[in-house]
Amino acid sequence: MLDAFTFQNIDANINQVREAMSEHCSEIAYGTKNSMVKHLCWQGKVEEAWELQKEGRGMVWSENLASHFVQGYARLGRMD
């Protein structure tokens, strides 16, 4: 769902998604968390994405994860 919303540039309520997932599983998997970070970055919500990626055990940095933040900062015109 998140990838489809991101692709179509539809804003998803990440907090609502997280709450719904928390009701059904103990921990959000890496792939889902990555999709959440991607969605937030592509919506220009980079600060919120930073907070999400740091939560829990954090996320292992990869080229894929870094590219989401590059996209987010580019969207905001902040490529400094």
Query: Exposed, middle or buried by CB within 10 Å (0-12, 13-18, 19+), for 27?
Result: exposed
| H/E stretch holding 4 | helix 2-7
> pTM of the prediction?
0.84
22-63 residue pLDDT tens: 888 767 888 889 999 999 999 999 999 999 998 877 788 899
